Chain A
Amino acid sequence: MSTDVAGVRITGLRKRYGDTVALAGLDLVARPGEILGIAGPNGAGKSTMVKILAGEVRWDEGEILVDGEPWSSDFGSDRVAVVHQETLLFPNLTVGENVVAGWENDGWRWPRAGDEHHALFDELGILRLRNVPLGELGLAVQQRTEMARALVRDARVMLFDEPNSALTPDESREFFRLAHQLADAGRVVMLISHRLQELATHSDRVAVIMDGRCVRVIEGADKTAETIAETLVRGLGTSAAADAEPVVRNGRTIGESTLELVRVTDTRRLFRDLDFSVPKGHVTALIGVEGSGGREILRACAGLRRVHGTVRVNGRAVRQAQLGSYVSYVAADRASSLFSNLSVGENLVIRLDREISRGALGLRTRRMASLAEELRREFHVKSDGIDIGIRSLSGGNQQKVAIAAAVGAKPAVLALEEPTRGVDISSKAEIYEILRRFVADGGAVVLFCTEIPEVYEVADQLHVVYDGRLSQPLAVADFADMEALAKAVASLETHGSVAPAA
């Protein structure tokens, strides 16, 4: 096999979902013996690419060659193995049985699961565990089981999608050691990650995917977390930030706190002894990668994650079960923030139980309709009236409904998880406008984001979250442009301190 056909070669790959373009002519080459890192913001098309390679989704146009052969769904997991964030295994079978399921060599008998794969299990450190039911084991072992499954089938391509987002540092280190071994043995290893420092350290090349295309392949001396961060920001900057109006930010003087977490510790130890306050009249952002703890801190703010410690609202201690009446929370995925079986209007007023009910049983339907119509106008939800199903709206308008419903409940604090994920640019701007108005009226907003442009556009101050710890607050107004902010965040995520401004 000549070297120029070996590996994975993706040319002009296109995929649309309705009106949404997920892949717009993706070109990517992954060579045997290397680790190809893949970076990109949420919604850039990475997960679509993963699904296509795993055979879960068909693509519209383009070509994928694996070792010179056109990709076919017959490859299945035998040729291209995808290790997802959440593993796809049988919890009721043992580790060894999981590895051989679908690949049994024992005729009609119950497979012996493992004697012939002794060395492989040993190498992956799962030999002792091969007779233990998988459901009793942690994610790290499950991932190794998926790796073993792929290796038994002699998979040529291993694609890891956010492999270590839920691993401990030790497990992470071990994971990368194994990934390097796979590459050294001549396999194609692709690694999708949000952790730029790890991409820079462990990949031979890093491909940056944005808007369904590969915008840059970073290699050699350029391959640093900072360069990747800048590439990500510059690509986004041209599309999103340029046509947005300049934001009127609140000054640097941070006023009194609306919501305070005092020495709180997560019951699952994702963060401990954490102090965090959300000031009145400001948008505060938590920025961090998956697994940093940022998402969980936000949920703790909304009373949705059990913590030990004190939570105060407007200076008064509040029990966690009661936090919900002060804090309105909107989840990142619309499946958890909206009721897909209800209409636009019903979704808008669902949080207003006191206004729409009479006594314990009566439902004031006319009042519901007028309230919903009011909210729809106020928040510029584009829909044909309030009676149509929520699912007939565009993604951006659905998100506006979710946020309008939260704001309409008149909370003291809005807690939003990635408020503009998968949302078009004009809806993005409108959502930011809603948040600015909310804080201008004296509310407080806390966001969890993974994208720097979002923070730059809407937040007044931010904390970088890493390993369950918060950085000192940074005032967004202190940074001249988005790239300066991106640099500071990248260096906080990797070194724990801000590098001196260049």
Chain B
Amino acid sequence: MAQVSNATPAAPAVPGSRYSWARTTLARLGGVTLAVIAVGAYFSIRTNGQMLVGSNLLGILRGLSSIAIMGFGLTVVIIAGEIDLSFAAVYGLSTNIVAVLWVTHGWPVYVAILIAFLAAVAVGVFNAFFTAVVKIPSFIATLGSSTLVFGLTLYIGQTQNISYQYPPIGKTVSHGSTSFFHDLGAASLPGGFPEEGIWAIGALLLFSFLLARTLFGFRLKAIGGSRAAAAVVRLPVTRYIFLAFIIGACMACLAGILDLSFVGSASPDDGQADLFPVFAAVIIGGASLAGGKGSAIGTVGGALLLAVLANGFALIASGPFASQILLGTVTVGAVVIDRFTSKRSTA
């Protein structure tokens, strides 16, 4: 405007606190941290400190690593305001592609890994195409692609377990490629630190930076916050949805390959059991299914809580029912908290 007037504009009141965003984030992360401490303390006492033994803690770290790595990808998709149900199937597809091409067909391991990533990108493109171009809800698109990919995985793997440590009769794997692949996710590090934990920490740093410090993160959050407003200011919505789904699928592929390296064999139903825990970790970590909200550190917090719970129940050998019941309770509880915190902020 040309001239600056001296009249003081009728000042709108500053709501509650100008740092309320920081407070809600803290409250939320604090909530998860408190839950982790409470649950950890409970199990430590119940198990007479067995939970706090170094090797057990490292086991927890390894357990949460692949959940967190997949969770980062899902967090990106959810911030953009979409849903991805297919990442668990992509995880299984990647382990089976690598195992079949490398172990069964004798292709170089690098090529097998590259093809697994290309397949993941293809699934991401498929999801994004039906979501952003054909414009069907991503829930439906990825539910479909999840089943489709699972079928493809069964076909590729011929519904067999394939181990690279102990190749099937008549197949051989060069020692060099075996040790390369083993060192990807299962190298022995000082103190028995799980290598997958290093990958998870690296991914945490990368995604924290990406989501909180870059233009990509900013626009992703905006697009998830309001599609109508994104159209007004012409944000590249379609491109971002493609990127989000591709990142989601690639992180699932990465987690699959690291786990294959650690576990040693690929099975037809790889990843199927991870769908729910990864979603739970992301939602407990503060991402909103409505879009526009979520963080990498939150997702790690959610994964940590789930890992501590799972480990605790395993230590006291309470049987599978208890951990399932508590997992369900924790997830619903987290979404209820989310509903109240997001309601307050839009009131």
Binding site for B on A (CB under 8 A): 54, 76-77, 88-94, 97-98, 101-104, 106-111, 119-120, 122-126, 128-129, 131-133, 135-138, 140-141, 149, 151, 170-171, 173-174, 177-178, 181-182, 184-186
Contact = CB atoms under 8 A, between A and B. Distances in A.
Contacts of B218: 97, 101, 104, 110-111
Interface stretch (B119-127, B154-162, B208-216, B323-331): B208-216
Contacts of B226: 88-92
Nearest to A74: B234
Which of A101, A128, A170, A182 has most B Cβ within 10 Å? A101
A174 B18 contact: no
Given A131-B18, A133-B345, A109 B215 contact: yes
B344 to A, nearest CB: 8
Contact of A186 (B2, B14, B216): B2
Given A123-B5, A184-B2, A184-B3, A77 B225 contact: no
B318 interface: no
A91 to B, nearest CB: 6
Contact of A108 (B215, B230, B346): B215
Interface string B214-234: 111111011011101111111
A182 B1 contact: yes
Nearest to B4: A123
Nearest to A146: B232
Nearest to A170: B10
Nearest to A147: B1
B234 A76 contact: yes
Contacts of A136: 15-16, 20, 345-347
Contacts of B4: 119, 122-123
Contacts of B28: none
Contacts of A89: 226, 229
A125 B10 contact: yes
Interface in B13-63: 14-16, 18, 20-21
Given A97-B222, A136-B16, A177-B7, 4 more contacts: A88-B228, A108-B216, A110-B215, A135-B346
A103 B346 CA distance: 25
Contacts of A149: 233
Given A102-B233, A182-B1, A184-B3, A109 B14 contact: no
Contact of B219 (A76, A101, A119, A124): A101
B14 A108 contact: no
A125 B12 contact: yes
B222 A133 contact: no
Nearest to A113: B218
A133 B21 contact: yes
A109 B225 contact: no
A125 B292 contact: no
A174 B234 contact: no
A123 B1 contact: yes
B215 A173 contact: no
B14 A88 contact: no
Closest 6 CB pairs of A and B: A125-B9, A102-B233, A92-B225, A92-B292, A185-B2, A90-B225
B235 to A, nearest CB: 5
Interface of B: 1-5, 7-12, 14-16, 18, 20-21, 212-219, 221-222, 224-226, 228-235, 292-293, 345-347
A142 B76 CA distance: 27
Given A92-B224, A129-B14, A132-B15, A108 B219 contact: no
Given A110-B212, A173-B10, A181 B219 contact: no
Given A88-B232, A92-B221, A101-B235, A138 B215 contact: no
Given A92-B225, A132-B14, A135-B345, A102 B235 contact: yes
B1 A181 contact: yes
Contact of A129 (B12, B224, B345): B12
Contacts of B11: 125, 128
A107 B235 contact: no
A404 to B, nearest CB: 35
A93 B221 CA distance: 8
A91 B225 contact: yes
Nearest to B11: A125
A88 B5 CA distance: 27
Given A110-B214, A133-B345, A102 B10 contact: no
A454 to B, nearest CB: 32
A275 to B, nearest CB: 31
Nearest to B24: A133
Given A88-B228, A92-B221, A108-B214, A101 B1 contact: no
A141 B12 contact: yes
Which of A94, A123, A135, A177 has most B Cβ within 10 Å? A135
Nearest to A186: B2
A137 B226 CA distance: 16
26 contacts: A89-B229, A90-B222, A90-B229, A90-B230, A91-B292, A92-B222, A92-B226, A94-B21, A101-B235, A102-B222, A102-B230, A111-B218, A123-B9, A125-B9, A128-B11, A132-B14, A132-B15, A133-B21, A149-B233, A151-B1, A177-B7, A181-B3, A181-B5, A184-B3, A185-B3, A186-B2
Contacts of A94: 21
B16 A106 contact: no
Contact of B229 (A88, A107, A182): A88
A231 B161 CA distance: 83
Contacts of B7: 177
A149 B212 CA distance: 22
A294 to B, nearest CB: 25
Contacts of A125: 8-12
Contact of B1 (A104, A111, A120, A133): A120
B207 to A, nearest CB: 14
A89 B233 CA distance: 9
